[in-house]
């Protein structure tokens, strides 16, 4: 009976999803997170994004929040990959 607990846990455990990477919408991840493009556009407007290509990364978090990381004006300002180590791409 208890051997099934891990499989049930995996059903309810969610992971963050990368929705936009380097200015490109990842449609399959948007679909997997059950969000519409309209939901995503709303969150981008809230974050004061003017153009999608200005977004380095956009993540649908496990809490249901959407994190938006805009490109920096500094070309040498790279994002630390460790920030995205658990994010599904």
Say which CATH number the domain at 79 has. 3.30.240.20
**Domain that includes residue 46, residue range:** 14-84
pTM of the entire predicted model: 0.77
What is the C-alpha to C-alpha distance for residues 66 and 10, in angstroms, rounded to an integer?
22
Q: Is residue 4 part of a domain?
A: no
What is the C-alpha to C-alpha distance for residues 89 and 80, in angstroms, rounded to an integer?
16
Q: Is residue 89 part of a domain?
A: no
Q: Residue 86, Cα to own-chain centre: how many angstroms?
A: 11
What is the C-alpha to C-alpha distance for residues 38 and 66, in angstroms, rounded to an integer?
13
Q: Give the number of domains in the chain.
A: 1
Residue-level pLDDT at 80:
79
Q: Is residue 20 part of a domain?
A: yes
pLDDT of residue 76 exceeding 90, the answer is no
Q: Is residue 75 part of a domain?
A: yes
Residues above pLDDT 90, as percent of the chain: 62
Question: What pLDDT digit, counting tens, does each position of 42-70 carry?
Answer: 999 999 999 999 999 999 999 999 999 99
The SS3 call for residue 70 is: strand
What is the C-alpha to C-alpha distance for residues 74 and 31, in angstroms, rounded to an integer?
32
């Amino acid at each position: 009976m208890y051997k099934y607990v891990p499989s049930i846990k995996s059903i309810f455990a969610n992971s963050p999803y990368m929705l936009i990477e380097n200015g490109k919408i990842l449609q399959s991840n948007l679909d997997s997170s059950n969000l519409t493009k309209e939901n995503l556009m709303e969150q981008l407007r809230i974050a004061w994004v003017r153009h999608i290509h200005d977004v380095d990364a956009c993540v649908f978090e496990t809490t249901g929040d959407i994190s938006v990381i805009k490109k920096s004006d500094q070309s040498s300002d790279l994002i630390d990959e460790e920030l995205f180590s658990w994010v599904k791409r």
